[in-house]
Amino acid sequence: MRLGYVLLKRLQRERRRRRRRHALVPDESIASPEKRKGSCYQQDDSPRSSKKMRYSGPDLPEEMWQHIHSLMPMKDAARVACLSSAFLYSWRNRPKLSFSTETMGIVEGTTDFIRKIDRVMKKHSGIGVKALTIEFNGLFSTKARSYLERWLQIAVTPRIEELSLSMSKGKSYYDFPCSLLSDGSGSSIRLLDLYRCTFRPTAEIGCFQSLTRLHLEYVSITGDELGCVFSTSFALEWLKLRLCRHIKYMKLPCVLQRLTYVEVRGCSRLRVIENKAPNLHSLHIFYQPYHPIKLSFGESSLVKNLRIGYSSVLDHACAELPYIFPNLETLTIGLLGEMVNTPMVPNTFLLLKYLCITLSAVTLSPSYDYLSLVSFLDACPSLDTFIVDVSAKHPKNDSIFENPSHLRQLPEQRHDNLRNVKITGFRSAKSLFELTYHILENTSVECLTLDTSFESFRCSPGKPGRCLQTSKDDPMEASKALFAIRTYIEGKVPSTVRLNVVEPCSRCHVMEPFTVESNSGNEMQ
């Protein structure tokens, strides 16, 4: 982008220089080209472009200048095309068209936004469009529908590679004209990204043989219609489905030989995922709160990375995940509903090296026991990294200050492969301290991080904005946790372990130190 910016500035300076020269020496306005050869800008002799300049240096191939022009942002590319006829042809054949309130500048409502896009599309030759992105950002309306279909007819040709449409948030969906993808127009698409659309592909559309990435969000599409896309998407590598609430059953056929990543988020009616894609390595499933999803992956599943989060995930993990995904190496579990103390079966995740558990319920069950998470260590003999996010309200009766002298100890079970442990949202819950002691005494941990911060968003030094906290009680809870760490943990950390204690942001929060009465302090000591 730097070269394009420099080029634009040079063109503007040359235009100002020529205007000053014309004002001082009027006769030079008709000077011969030989007198102007010292300048790298020459006036175009064509009748239509008598006021535009052609850039004559450095001497680069025309294809190179067109490539430079295509890499410039839309606003800069349009300005350069206005200043130099050498780039006018490149502008009318620009391969990447991106329209949004950001790329189009200030717009005064839907009508102005449509007018600006339509002006560009009418002057575009329609030849060579490889990427089209339109983001309405709240400006989509009934009036825009007819314009949009005309723009798509211009841009969607057998040469297009990327198509991204983002409609406005609301109840109305745009009926995507699938007929545009027939007769070979869809065979060249590598990226299809739709937001707030109705997408009804059929077997008659044709082949999506070049499609590598499919992103659908708030798209009305059924499992059968999705299957029509899969059946000819031989090059598909990435699949993202977000809030597509009409899909009940998703089958990934064996023709998806290159598919490696699948993400499903908020598809509330989805009940079954059946996979026959042989090389799927990463599976992410989020926000399926109403019912568990049946996963059918066969005995030879190669999935190594799994991120999954919905209310019954912990039970599901204990009962089925080790057998559905025997080759897992990384596992992230997010718990969104009521928690239960569910022990893991020992030695079930034999290859797992990275485990992250998020306990993000608004209120944990009073009987929840953090020490029960040790069963995950027993289930993962090869585990190297263990991360626990306990950013949730803790039971009031589970406090290290209540009775610090009676701490439970589990039977000794070594976890010698464990090297890194991080507990985020660390508080003064007694069972958290019991979990920490067990890790210090029964593992070969090298780095232990206890994060007492409570910000859902943390500010950055030198940038505007403040940290966001989730509860007014968070500062006091963090202060209690820091006091408890200094009192009960720091003295028990072996010299071979690096202890990192993360405190809340001092720029945005004033932390009042936690104190206890002298008699309580003596009892705890």
Range scoring the smallest mean pLDDT among 265-269, 348-352, 358-362 = 358-362
CB-based contact 344:374 (threshold 8 Å): no
- What is the Cα–Cα distance from 393 to 396, expressed in whole angstroms? 9
- Token pair for residue 286? 């989020």
Tokens 């958290």 correspond to 432
Place 24 in a pLDDT band, splitting at 50, 70 and 90: very low
Range scoring the smallest mean pLDDT among 275-279, 432-436, 506-510 = 506-510
The per-residue pLDDT for 316 is 58
- Token pair for residue 355? 């485990």
- Among 131-145, 256-270, 506-520, top mean pLDDT goes to 256-270
Mean pLDDT of 173-182: 88
CB contact set of 170 (below 8 Å; sequence gap of 6+): 140, 196
When comparing pLDDT for 146 and 263, which is higher?
263
The per-residue pLDDT for 459 is 66
The per-residue pLDDT for 61 is 64
CA contacts within 13 A on the Cβ side of 370:
33
CB-based contact 377:436 (threshold 8 Å): no
CB-based contact 3:77 (threshold 8 Å): no
Q: Phi/psi at 192 (nearest 5 deg)? A: -125, 115
Peptide bond into 58 cis (omega under 30): yes
CB-based contact 344:413 (threshold 8 Å): no
CB contact set of 412 (below 8 Å; sequence gap of 6+): 441, 442
- What is the residue-wise DSSP string for 373-398? GHHHHHH-TT--EEEEE--SBPPTT-
CA torsion 257→260→263→269, rounded to 10°? Answer: 30
- Among 122-136, 184-198, 280-294, top mean pLDDT goes to 184-198
Packing angle, helices 2-24 and 74-83, rounded to 10: 30
CB-based contact 56:62 (threshold 8 Å): no
Indicate whether 126 pLDDT > 50. Answer: yes
Return the DSSP state at 512: P
- Token pair for residue 419? 């090297």
- Token pair for residue 304? 């190594």
Helix (H) or strand (E) holding 149: helix 142-155
- Among 91-100, 113-122, 210-219, top mean pLDDT goes to 210-219
State whether residue 351 is helix, strand or coil. Answer: coil
Domain boundaries, the chain: 331-457+466-514
Sign of CA dihedral 54, 58, 63, 64: negative
**Structure confidence by residue, pLDDT tens digits, 372-391:** 889 889 999 999 999 998 86
The per-residue pLDDT for 190 is 95
Tokens 């790329």 correspond to 103
Indicate whether 43 pLDDT > 60. Answer: no
In angstroms, the first-to-last Cα distance of the chain is: 63
Indicate whether 5 pLDDT > 60. Answer: no
When comparing pLDDT for 73 and 274, which is higher?
274
Give the Å distances, CA to CA, from 70 to 105, 302, 352: 18, 40, 46
- Token pair for residue 34? 């030989």
Place 319 in a pLDDT band, splitting at 50, 70 and 90: low
